Amino acid sequence: MIALIREVFPDVICNGEWDYEIESTRLINSLGLDCNHTDTTLSGYIEIEWVRGDDFLNISDGQIQRDSLDPKKVANQILQRLRWAEKNVRPSIGRVPILFTAKAADLLWSTISAVLNGKQVLEGASPWSDRLGELVTNKQITISQQPQEGPFSCPFDDEGTPTRSIVFIQNGILQLFYTDRTTGRLLGSGTTGNGLSPDLGSYPTPELFNFIVQPGERSLNELTAMLDDGIIVDQILGGGAGISGDFSINVELGYRVRRGEIVGRVKNTMVAGNVYTALRQLVALGNDGEWNGSCYTPHVVVEGLSTIGRIE
């Protein structure tokens, strides 16, 4: 894989790592509960550095799967981004459409994961606490949990409750919050089988796994062709939005789009806005989702965000 990249860009520095993990879990208690499962996960990534004078570029990409990996696909994705970044260009300034690639889109979904947490609802922190059955996002968005899909399987939670497939948002309409036994009892909804412990010394708390955003119909190239003047965000610096939805992030790796074509890499650029506003003004979802940890997301085009950049 490294050889494929350096054959085209011999000046880049590459490093990578490939892992094979087998995890076995057994849950036993004094009331007779005894359940177990074994999970196998394959993962790999490659990171490149490209230094041209005082211009430093870092690109990373990888895969996480259950059955097999495709190193050549990862190498081709790195090569594509290197070609896009050969030329530096001025960023778009102001309110322009933003295309978050699957790598960067977790910025949006981490907030949605938090707002669907039954504990946040119980504490009154979730802005969707009283909005069950209402339209909360663009109608193109459907979000579910699929315990047996993707690189991680989870047949039961840390309270011994069987996990199940759940649709949380259907065509933009809020359907359900996720809970553990305690939270579900206090809310009156019962547990959804999402009680997970961060470590052996902690009580279970509501957590999501295999969070899946249903893909759309357009490829990355088709999404790019939709943009007359916009930014592609591929890697970000800075924390997530949190439950408030407000964020301001530095674009570590991004590209300018003019008249449907990628014209070069943008530097010294920030994107700011609100997750809830962006998801209400969603333009399109890509058809080629990727796993980021246990979150499966397609590429996403949204409006309603602002870009700030220094023009050199």
pLDDT per residue as tens digits for the range 178-190 = 999 999 999 999 9
Mean pLDDT value across residues 75-80? 95
pLDDT score recorded for residue 75: 94
In the chain, the N- to C-terminal Cα span, in Å, equals 35
One domain, residues 75 and 223? no
Write out pLDDT tens, residues 212-231.
999 999 999 999 999 999 99
Alpha-carbon span 109 to 123, nearest angstrom: 21
In this structure, are 213 and 273 located in the same domain? yes
- Measured in whole angstroms, the distance separating CA 120 from the mean position of its chain's CA atoms is 21
Q: Which residues contact 57 (CB under 8 A, 6 or more apart)?
A: 49, 50, 51, 85, 253, 265
Identify whether residues 54 and 125 lie together within a single domain.
Answer: no
Number of structural domains the chain divides into: 2
Q: What is the 3-state secondary structure (H, E, C) of 64-92?
A: EECCCCCHHHHHHHHHHHHHHCCCECCCC
Identity of the amino acid at 65:
Q
Q: Do residues 77 and 178 share a domain?
A: no
pLDDT, position 148: 87
Question: Does 99 share its domain with 168?
Answer: yes
pLDDT of residue 312: 56
Q: Are residues 214 and 298 in the same domain?
A: yes
Residue ending a domain, among 84, 117, 146, is 84
Claim to verify: residue 59 and residue 160 sit in the same structural domain: no
- Are residues 207 and 227 in contact, defined by beta-carbon separation less than 8 angstroms? no
The lowest-confidence range among 57-61, 165-169, 195-199 is 195-199
| Residue-level pLDDT at 60 | 94
What is the spatial distance between Cα 241 and Cα 150, in angstroms, rounded to a whole number?
A: 26
Task: Find tokens 């359900």 and name the residue.
Answer: 176
In this structure, the answer to whether residues 42 and 93 fall within a common structural domain is no
90 pLDDT higher than 80: yes
What's the mean per-residue pLDDT of the chain? Answer: 93
Q: 175 and 95 in one domain?
A: yes
Q: Are residues 75 and 97 in the same domain?
A: no
Among residues 26, 60, 84, the one where a domain terminates is 84
Structural domain boundaries, residue 27: 2-84
Q: Which residues pair with 6 in a beta bridge?
A: none
Predicted local confidence at residue 242, as pLDDT? 87
Q: Which of 6-15, 100-109, 237-246 is least confident?
A: 237-246
Q: Nearest CA to 220 among 70, 142, 54, 103?
A: 103
Would you give the DSSP letter of residue 163?
Answer: P
Tell which residue, 72, 59, 65, has the closest CA to residue 2. 72
Instruction: Give the CA distances from residue 48 to residues 285, 294, 312, in Å, rounded to whole numbers and listed in that order.
Output: 28, 24, 25
